[in-house]
Chains A and B, each alone.
Chain A
Amino acid sequence: MLSSKSGMRGLWFIMPAVVTLLLLITYPLIYGAYISFFDTNLITKWNFVGLKHYVNIFSNTEFVERILLTLHYTFWVVVGHFVIGTGLALILNMKLKGITVFRVILILPWLFPEVVVGLLWKWLFNPLYGLFNAVLMKVGLIDDPVSWLGDEKTAFAAVIVVSIWKGFPMVMMLLLAGLQSIPEDIYEAARIDGCTRSAAFRYVTLPALMPVMVVTLILDTVWWFKHFTMIWILTQGGPGNATNVVSIDIFKQAFEFFNFGKASAMAILVFFVCWLMGYGYRRLFGNGDD
């Protein structure tokens, strides 16, 4: 199977995927990198400005602040996903009665379109007609309606809560799949060797789950780092700059201010940040290529 002939056959198998991706992802990526060197409206104005946009972006702390805010947001979202997702995956992996029902229920948020989730929570958080305030006021936790999406601190937390709600099922399922691929006899062996439940978790489950976790961690991090739709629907980056994550900033630069060059430069930088994070995770968890 190592002969050059079989190597060629391997190429044939991956060819449709490669061609599709080259045509549809690589060209747009290169185009994006290309326009980041221009001051352009994409039609009549094409002024080559070299690295001006990049210099401009780093000439003040604004972009760095956005990146830090986005990292802050991503950190809590990913931690939420993993705490809830891992916990529930472990429980769903037990042989309890009626577990299928819970499995189906807990997957629901993942099945709702992002547009729907954004609108739904905006409706729940509505200060006058929303369920959230109504319940809290009835219970007596608050006296007057609170504008959850209208205060700097609560808006940031609210956006994180919604993102966790929407995204934990994906992590839960990937980890559940990982758990189910661990053969039963390993646990059996561990038990015979006198392992306690927690020791079995520590020495059997965790190592076996590690590879799944790392890739899930990378994907979850880069996906949510770039997240746009729900935050846009919930707060449009506001109030003030409380939820102005970097995707929203890029969107505004491109489609509100029509600074396509600067927006592209920011997108390229985000790409590098994501790539660095992926690289960092791999180094950290010692899960290099092949």
Chain B
Amino acid sequence: MKVRKVGSLVSLVLASSLVLAACGKSESGNNADSKDGAKQTTIRIMSVSQTENPDGPAEKEMAERYMKLHPEVKIEFIGVPMNDLYKKITAMATSGDLPDAFTMTPQFARTAHGMGITADLKPLLGEDYIKEFYPNIIEESSVEGKLQFLPWNAAPMALVYRGDWFEQEGLKAPENWDDFLEAAKKLTKDTDGDGKTDQWGFGMIGTRNGSGADRFIVILRSFGVEELRKDESGNWVSDLDTPEAKEAFQFFVDLNNKHGVVPPGVTETGFPEAASLMATGKVGMMLTGPNALGNIVSQNPDLKGKLHSVPVPMKVKHTATFGLLGYSIAESSKNKEAVADYLKFMVEDENALAWNQLSGRLPTKIEVGKQQQLTTPEYAGFVKALEYSFTIPAFDQYSQFQDIVAEAYQSMIAANQSVDAATRRAAERANEVIQANK
């Protein structure tokens, strides 16, 4: 008796939720209908540009131009902030609900490949088409020989500095870390004479996230240390507790703890904070991709032409990250061809150049790169940095390494931990992750 009643109630509730479900479905069905009733393909694209300004409107405008050329295609954007992109992709993927295309980075491509959610773009775009891109960029966008995403643009990391300040102080663009430190010390001063420092040499980014960690890893690699690499026998190893690694950590941390050439609050200074410090003339240098130029100039138009770039200073070599951003096509998408066609449109010469103008990010195709007048002092360093860029290790837990180095430098900065303790802990964690991955 009881059971039966409970059972009937459950089914009642289930039935009512099905009614709700039906409502939901009919709603979305209506959306998909085109205005004129012609057969139309709707492609949904999840984009991080949509939540940024002016990138979002510009990307929309590009899609509209495409839709004018191809009236049978309708493009819908889903805006997601970069901070929350991976979460959203994961949640959608686990329920088989991915949009046709979504923003992808090399860091996440390994994980996405493991999840089997990304279509291999090589057969879709054709070998010949892919040859139009810089080969090392294609390599960085691939996992196990499969092209995970179409590289839309690159933001290689370089050192941006105030050209006008350097000239006043008689400094030249830093080639190595000694030059850098000297420049940073000279630029750190009290400009209004109230006895308090109000201008600093370096806008250091020390947050505990990918953005902070990627910057430090570039410095680390310029000291000849690899946070993760394959040894001769093909096993993953980490160099995080070598003397060179300690030197790199100590150098980075001393900029704050010893030399005081960075503004207060490095561990809470992320990219947006550092960019606004640069825009308001509080700092003279920062490590960043070329997209920062547009960002800073839009905050303070007076700085146009005053921001110069050079490759990241070196200890034993120059290095950089590619800072690639592109779109993956979902393995589950029913409109792969249509999406691929739109993606090709995005990187066409004219569109790629326009995007470079707008966002400062560099084009990824060889021909477009040649057409560029990228030899201005603003861009020279970034273009050179592309040569020094390293490929992120194809390790599907790579994001753990970002967290490992970030934990280490933060505990040295904020808790005065010794470099030995911090790197020991980092190496321990690194080995644990490597072990677990076997």
Q: Is the CB of A236 within 8 A of B208?
A: yes
- Give the complex CA separation of A237 and B403 in angstroms: 11
Question: Which A residues between 30 and 85 are near B, CB-CB below 8 angstroms?
Answer: 41-45, 56
Q: Is the CB of A152 within 8 A of B116?
A: no
Q: Is the CB of B117 within 8 A of A43?
A: yes
Q: Could you tell me the distance in whole angstroms from the C-beta of A47 to the nearest C-beta in chain B?
A: 12
Given that A43-B116, A144-B264, A147-B266 are known contacts, is A239 also in contact with B414, CB under 8 Å in the complex?
A: yes
A150 at the interface (CB under 8 A from B): yes
- Give the complex CA separation of A27 and B96 in angstroms: 19
A102 at the interface (CB under 8 A from B): no
Given that A23-B13, A147-B265 are known contacts, is A236 also in contact with B411, CB under 8 Å in the complex?
A: no
Which residues of A lie under 8 Å from residue B415 when comparing CB positions?
Answer: 152, 239-240, 242
Q: Could you tell me the distance in whole angstroms from the C-beta of A185 to the nearest C-beta in chain B?
A: 45
B111 at the interface (CB under 8 A from A): yes
A90 at the interface (CB under 8 A from B): no
Q: Could you tell me the distance in whole angstroms from the C-beta of B64 to the nearest C-beta in chain A?
A: 32
- Give the complex CA separation of A44 and B118 in angstroms: 12
Given that A23-B13, A236-B209 are known contacts, is A41 also in contact with B111, CB under 8 Å in the complex?
A: yes
Q: Is the CB of A41 within 8 A of B114?
A: yes
Q: Is the CB of B414 within 8 A of A44?
A: no
- Give the complex CA separation of A110 and B285 in angstroms: 41
For the side of the interface on A, what is the size category?
35 or more
B68 at the interface (CB under 8 A from A): no
Contact with A along B399-411 (1 / 0, CB 8 A): 1100100110011
B354 at the interface (CB under 8 A from A): no
Q: Is the CB of A239 within 8 A of B111?
A: no
CB nearest to A19 among chain B residues: B13
Contact with A along B27-69 (1 / 0, CB 8 A): 0000000000000000000000000000000000000000000
Binds B, one of A161-169, A187-195, A254-262: A254-262
Most interface-central of A43, A44, A56 (chain B CB within 10 A):
A43
Q: Is the CB of A144 within 8 A of B399?
A: no
A128 at the interface (CB under 8 A from B): yes
Q: Is the CB of B414 within 8 A of A256?
A: no
Which residues of A lie under 8 Å from residue B365 when comparing CB positions?
Answer: none
Which residues of A lie under 8 Å from residue B333 when comparing CB positions?
Answer: none
Most interface-central of A45, A149, A152 (chain B CB within 10 A):
A152
A145 at the interface (CB under 8 A from B): yes
Question: Which B residues between 279 and 297 are near A, CB-CB below 8 angstroms?
Answer: 282
Which of A8, A19, A238 is close to B208, meaning CB atoms less than 8 Å apart?
A: A238
Q: Is the CB of B264 within 8 A of A150?
A: yes
Binds A, one of B87-95, B175-183, B311-319, B384-392: B87-95
The 23 listed contacts between A and B (C-beta, < 8 Å) are: A15-B9, A41-B115, A42-B94, A42-B115, A43-B93, A43-B94, A127-B264, A128-B264, A128-B282, A144-B264, A149-B268, A150-B266, A150-B414, A152-B414, A236-B207, A236-B209, A239-B411, A239-B413, A241-B411, A256-B86, A256-B399, A258-B399, A259-B397
* A contacts, CB < 8 Å to B: 8, 11, 15-16, 19-20, 23, 41-45, 56, 122, 125-128, 143-147, 149-152, 155, 235-242, 252, 255-259
